[in-house]
Amino acid sequence: MFDIRVIRESGDKIQSRLGDRGKGIDWDLLLKLDVERRDLLTQVEKKRHRRKTVLSEIGKLKCQGKPDDTKLLQEVEKLAEEIRAEEAGIKPIEDQLNDLLLRIPNIPHETVPSGENESHNEEFRRWGTPPQLTFSPVPHVELGESLDILDFKRATRMSGSRFTIYKGAGAQLERALMNYMLDLHTQNHGYLEVIPPYLVNRAGMTGTGQLPKFESDLFYIASDDFFLIPTAEVSVTNIHREEILDSADLPLRYVAGTPCFRREAGSYGKDTRGLIRQHQFNKVELVSFTNPEESYDELDRLLIDVETVLQQLGLHYRVVTLCSGDMGFSAAKTYDVEVWMPVQGVFREISSCSNFEAFQARRARIKFRGTDGKTDFVHTLNGSGVAIGRTVVAILETFQQKDGSVLIPKALHPYMGGIDKIEKR
RNA sequence: GGAGAGGUGGCCGAGUGGUCGAAGGCAACGGUUUGCUAAACCGUCGUAGGUUAACGCCUACCGAGGGUUCGAAUCCCUCCCUCUCCGCCA
């Protein structure tokens, strides 16, 4: 979200930096509403001031036991009426202005490549090599079913498409990954583990940028006006909503392993089979709150923390810098980490690490107090560290053996109760 | 779900109709004093919006929204939240 004052002063600059992302925004209307609002506000405030003055005069007379001054009473009554009418005129203007502001996406950082879609993303670095298999790899769906660790059919029966039952070693693998990642980030990388709510209210969803624009992507509980979180980013970032943090406490780093719920509206026909795109999936999420001048260092750090997971698991991946057109609404800069999927022979997103700068902080009113006593908005960042379901896919497909079994990466052994291989039961 | 109590500045806490954006305390910050620390003393010390070149000035906010009144932190209504007891439940 942008400060209307900044748009007022340097709207042209913002417009040009937004580029294609700023298409469809009515800048003239924005500025017109801003002027209208301030004019009306000035008028009302003058009248309120006059009213206050008159009221205190009336009060003084009362206290002195003097008779009422009808002239003053009349003036106050007239002012009250005018104020009420003018205030009523301001409200819709403010609402409209606010709604427009909430629908402007964040400005890409200057280091973000410009481009319309993912074909313009830039590879930033690459780690490892694709596994050299002596046979043609089996897709994780068939592998999971033949090992009896994934059950898509029965899940569909009770919940529809894009749901899965994990069974036996499959469930254990999912749980092992979650615990391994949480331990890594808390013990080695200094994040504080939290288990946040999975249901949040409208204000929370607006704070991180899901609302008002992307309501159709969310599962909604109408009876209580709750939304299911599409990512722990929402609840963890909202931990500090409407707070003023102490600059000395920054950066604040949190990690949460939670289920995520996404309607996947508009993705019909995409990744319909398997674990890749689910309505419910588990993810370990990293969230940082930093001082503004430190946020890009923090993004680098966050990215490395995420990459450590894949390196320890021995999964081939690459990091891409998203171009302006492929970035999410709230992000100023995003690195996607893409893991190698041997069956499809492509890299698939397994983590997304973003710096939102002050975009979310402004919406959620998360500030810090500097040593000079002044307050300013923090910068927020987050990254998946990493998506569990897709990690399961990568492990199954990368470490599968000719006999249909799957080797478990060493890093997970302590979490798998001594098993180092998943075999048919 | 039922009954009751309550929501005031970073925290504690006073304030039941006008002079209250709000006493007092704690914490914090600046200063004086001082081997150091501590203590004492003085001062500063909420958020947001508008306006100004700036100092500043103005407006709003005592959970949220309405209402009563010339006037509301204070009275009334609705909602939200917290706490206690009961019910239910893991």
Return the closest nucleotide (C1') to the Cα of A87: B60
User: Six-digit token pair at A99?
Assistant: 């709604």
Return the closest nucleotide (C1') to the Cα of A61: B18
Give residue A4's identity as a one-letter amino acid code: I
In 3-state terms, what secondary structure has residue A267?
Answer: coil
Per-residue flag: A162 CB under 7 A of strand B = no
Per-residue flag: A76 CB under 7 A of strand B = yes
Cα angle for residues A350, A352, A353 (degrees, 5° grid): 140
Return the closest nucleotide (C1') to the Cα of A77: B70
**Please, which residues have CB within 8 angstroms of residue A49's CB and are 6 or more apart in sequence?**
none
User: Six-digit token pair at A350?
Assistant: 């397994």
Residue A57 among the catalytic residues = no
Name the CATH code of domain A118-422 (choices 3.10.310.70, 3.90.1150.10, 3.40.50.2000, 3.30.930.10): 3.30.930.10
Q: Quickly give A239 CA vs B42 C1' distance in Å.
A: 40
The ipTM is: 0.83
Q: Quickly give A162 CA vs B11 C1' distance in Å.
A: 49
In 3-state terms, what secondary structure has residue A401?
Answer: coil
Q: Is A190 left (phi over 0), alpha (psi -120 to 50) or beta?
A: left
Give residue A293's identity as a one-letter amino acid code: E
Q: Quickly give A249 CA vs B46 C1' distance in Å.
A: 21
The residue whose CA lies nearest the C1' of nucleotide B69 is A77
In chain A (425 residues long), the average pLDDT of successive 10-residue segments reads: 88 89 90 93 91 86 75 87 86 89 93 93 96 94 97 94 96 97 98 91 90 90 87 93 85 95 86 93 96 95 98 98 95 97 96 96 88 84 96 97 96 94 92
User: Six-digit token pair at A407?
Assistant: 């080797």
Query: Which residue has tokens 């997971």?
Result: A309
Q: Of A129, A137, A130, which Cα lies nearest the Cα of A401?
A: A137
A345 near A316, Cβ under 8 Å?
no
User: Six-digit token pair at A235?
Assistant: 């609840």
Q: CATH 1.10.287.40 spans which residues of chain A?
A: 4-102
pLDDT for the residue A66 = 73
Q: List the alpha helices (DSSP H) in A64-151.
A: 70-102, 140-146
Name the CATH code of domain A4-102 (choices 3.50.50.60, 3.30.43.10, 1.10.287.40, 3.40.50.720): 1.10.287.40
| Cα dihedral A199/A200/A205/A206 (nearest 10) | 170
Contacts 24+ apart (CB under 8 A), A73-76: A76/A51
The whole-angstrom separation of Cα A123 and Cα A349 is: 13
pLDDT for the residue A9 = 87
User: Six-digit token pair at A351?
Assistant: 């983590």
A329 near A233, Cβ under 8 Å?
no
Q: CATH 3.30.930.10 spans which residues of chain A?
A: 118-422
pLDDT for the residue A180 = 98
Chain A residues 269-328 with Cβ under 7 Å of strand B are none
